[in-house]
Chains A and B, each alone.
Chain A
C-alpha cells in the first residue's frame, strides 16, 4: 500500500518554515515581558516544532519514495515573487528543498527544538528569559532561511541574520564587559568573512548574471543551469561580456576568484584559520547557545555553502586545493590547541573548530556527502557534548575549569553516560557515527581524491589523520578529567543531576549519535548496492542527486573510492584507540606526573607554552590588526571627527550664520517702507528679467 500524498501540495507553504520561528521571535520580542513563563516556552518550542514538522513532511517522501504513490521527489521549490530588481539584476524571494537542505533543515529545527527544551531548565533562573527565547527563535528562523534559500542574496540575508543572533546571544549577558566584547569580536571577525561572501556573490553576478542557485519550475537563469551548460573548453575562454570583460580573465580564473571569495565567507562563518579566533570567545554566551549556534548549526553554514555550490567549486582546482589545505590545517591546528585548554567549553570550542576543519577538508577534496554527513553527525554529538557541558556547569555552579572538576560520573549518571557516548562518537571509535563520517572523509581524501594536485589531497589525509589522533586525545583528556577520578573542588563534590528537561535532550542526542551510524555504514541494512556491485551508504545514496553535477565535473571514480576501505577503517580505529590510550595513561594512570620532569626541559616547555597560549594568534591579530586600526580610528577621531566634522561641518555653518546675522542685521531695521521699496525693486527687476528673456523661455518650452 502506498501513501497517496504528493509533497508538492506543501510547496506553497514552504515559506512558513522560516516564517514560523521568525513570527515566534517577533511575538516574544514584542510581548515577551507580559507573557507568563510557560507561554513563552510554548511559543518558542511550538513554532520551532511546527517548522520541524513541516520539514519532516517534505523529507519523508524524499527518504522513503517507496512508500509514496508520487514516486521519488528530487526537489521542491516555491517563489514568492521578485524580491527586488535593479537594472539587469533580479533577485527572487524563492525557497527550495532538495535532499541536501532538507536534511540540514531537519537538523536545524530538530536540534533547535531539543535545545529549546533544554534551555527551559538551563535558563530557569534567568529573568530575561523572553529575550533569550526571542533571540533563539530568531536564530532558528534565519538559519532555516539560510538553508532553504534558493538565491545567494536571500541566503545572505539568513547568513547575516544568524550572525546577528550569534552576536546577540554571545553578548546575552551584556552587562558583563568581557561577554559583550566577545560578542563584538565574533561580529567583527565575521564581517571579514561576510565581505568575502558578498564579493563572491558580486563576482558570480558579474559572471553569470544571476544569483539563483537551482532552476525552479519554469526555469530561468540559475548558477546550476549555467554550470550545466558549461562546455568543457569553456573554462579557458576569456570572459568577453559583462562587467568582468574589462579584466581579461578567463572563465576559469573568474570562477576561481568567485570560489575563493565565497570560501572566505565560509571560513569566517565556519571558523577556519585564520578567522577561527571568534569561536572560542563565543563561549561567553549561554551554553545551550554554544551548543546550537556555535557547534551544531550556524558554524556549519560555511560547510553548507561549500556543499551547496559544490558544482561551482568542482570547476576550480585551485579553489578546491585551497579549501582542502585550509581545512586540514585548521583541523590539526585546533586539535593541538584543544589539548592545552583547561576550560571545559573552550576545549569543546576548539574541538568544534577542528571538526569544522574536517568538513572543509572534505569539501576541498570532493568528499561532498561525507562533509555533509559529518556535519550532521557532528551536530548530534557536539550538541550532546555541549549540553552535557552545560549540565556539568549547572551542577557545579559555573565551575568550568576541568582541573577543578572530576569524579562526576558517580554523581551525574545521565550526563556522564551521554557524554561518553558522544566522546566515543567524535573520537571515531567504531561503531559510532563519527567513525563513519570523519573517517570516511579521511579515507576518501586518501583513496579517491581527484581534485587539485594529488599532493594536496594526500597531505590533507596525513594532516587529517594526525588531527584525528589529536581529537581522540583531547576528547578523552576532557572526559577523564571531568568525569573520572576524584572531585578536585567543592562544587564538583556536590554536583547533582538536573531534571528531565536536561536529560531527555541529552539522551536523544546521544541516541542519535549512535543511530546515525546506519546512514554512513556501507553494510548497514537498507544500504544500496550499486550496479557495479559497490555498497553505497544510505546517506551517499540519499544525497547523490545533489552532488551528481559536481561529481560528474570532478570525474570521481566510485570504484576507487572503495579501494582500501577496510585498511582505512583499521587505521582509523588504531588512531582512535591510540589517542584514547594516551589520554588514559596520562590522565587516568598518573602519566602526567611522570612526564612532569620532561615539561621542565626547555624545548618542551617552550612548545607547551606556545600551545597553551594558542600560538599567540590572538596577540598577533592584536598587534597586526587591532592596534593599527585603533590608531587609525584615534587619528580619524581627532582629525576627521573633531576637526573636520565637528569643527568645520558642525560649528562652521553655525559660525557663518552668526557672522551673516551680525552683518545683515543692519538691513533688518524695522522700517516697513524700506522693505516695501526693496520688494518693489525686486519685483520690477524680476518683471524686467522675465520680459527680456521671457519670450525665449516661452519658445523654449514649446510656445509659439
Chain B
C-alpha cells in the first residue's frame, strides 16, 4: 500500500471505491447511533426511548449493509433481516409493557417508575 499523504481524502477514496466510501456510511451510522443514544439517555417518555432504540438498531443495520457491500458478502443482509425481526419482537413486547405501565401506574415517564417493580 502506498502512503497516503493526499490533501483530499475524498478524491483519494474515489480511487479505492467506485462510490461513496465506507467511512461515510460508518460515520452516518455512528451519528444515528449517537442520536439514538442521546434520546435514550435524555428523554423520559418511554415511547420516545423505544423509538430511539429503534434508531440505534437501524444504525447497526446500516453498518452491516455497508460492510456487506464492501465485501460483496450477503451475510450482512441476512443479519440485518434478523435484526429487523428482533426489533419487531422487541417493539411488540415493549409497547405492551408501556401500555401495562400506563394502566397500572398511570404514566409513561420512566423516571416516575423507579421501584424496580410494576
Contact = CB atoms under 8 A, between A and B. Distances in A.
Q: Do chains A and B touch in the complex (CB under 8 A)?
A: yes
Interface in A643-672: 669-672
Interface stretch (B5-13, B37-45, B63-71, B78-86): B37-45
B103 interface: no
Question: Interface residues of B toward A: which range?
Answer: 10 to 19
A404 B113 CA distance: 90
Nearest to B1: A704
Contacts of A683: 37
Nearest to B42: A673
Contacts of B116: 670
A666 to B, nearest CB: 13
A676 B114 CA distance: 13
Q: Which of A669, A672, A683 has the most CB of B within 10 A?
A: A672
Interface in B19-53: 37, 40-42, 44, 49
Contacts, number: 26
Interface in B63-114: 110-111, 113-114
Contacts of B15: none
B37 A673 contact: no
Question: Interface residues of A toward B: which range?
Answer: under 10
A418 to B, nearest CB: 85
A671 B40 contact: no
B115 A676 contact: no
A291 B47 CA distance: 87
A676 B40 contact: yes
Contacts of A672: 110-111, 113-114
B41 A670 contact: no
A683 B59 CA distance: 15
B41 A680 contact: yes
A683 B114 CA distance: 23
Nearest to A681: B41
Given A672-B110, A673-B44, A673-B110, A680 B37 contact: yes
A676 B111 contact: no
B108 to A, nearest CB: 12
B15 to A, nearest CB: 20
B40 A669 contact: no
A677 interface: yes
A676 B115 CA distance: 16
A679 to B, nearest CB: 9
B110 A677 contact: no
A683 B111 CA distance: 22
A683 B34 CA distance: 11
B37 A670 contact: no
A673 B41 CA distance: 6
Interface in A109-141: none
Nearest to A684: B37
B41 A671 contact: no
A680 B40 contact: yes
A209 B44 CA distance: 75
A670 B114 CA distance: 4
A664 to B, nearest CB: 14
Q: Which of A669, A671, A673, A677 has the most CB of B within 10 A?
A: A673
Contacts of A669: 114
Contact of A671 (B37, B49, B111): B111
Interface string A681-695: 001000000000000
B41 A677 contact: yes
Contacts of A680: 37, 40-41
A691 to B, nearest CB: 11
A677 B41 CA distance: 5
A673 B111 CA distance: 7
Contacts of B42: 673
B31 to A, nearest CB: 14
Contacts of A673: 40-42, 44, 110-111
A669 B115 CA distance: 8
Nearest to A668: B116
Contacts of B110: 671-673
Contacts of B113: 670, 672
A670 B44 contact: no
Q: Which of B37, B42, B49 has the most CB of A within 10 A?
A: B37
A677 B37 CA distance: 9
Nearest to A683: B37
A688 to B, nearest CB: 13
B34 to A, nearest CB: 9
A323 to B, nearest CB: 77
Interface of A: 669-673, 676-677, 680, 683
21 contacts: A669-B114, A670-B113, A670-B114, A670-B115, A670-B116, A671-B110, A671-B111, A672-B110, A672-B111, A672-B113, A672-B114, A673-B40, A673-B41, A673-B42, A673-B44, A673-B111, A676-B40, A676-B49, A677-B41, A680-B40, A683-B37
Given A670-B116, A671-B110, 9 more contacts: A670-B115, A671-B114, A672-B113, A673-B40, A673-B41, A673-B111, A676-B40, A676-B49, A677-B41
A-B CB proximity, top 4 nearest: A670-B114, A672-B110, A670-B116, A677-B41
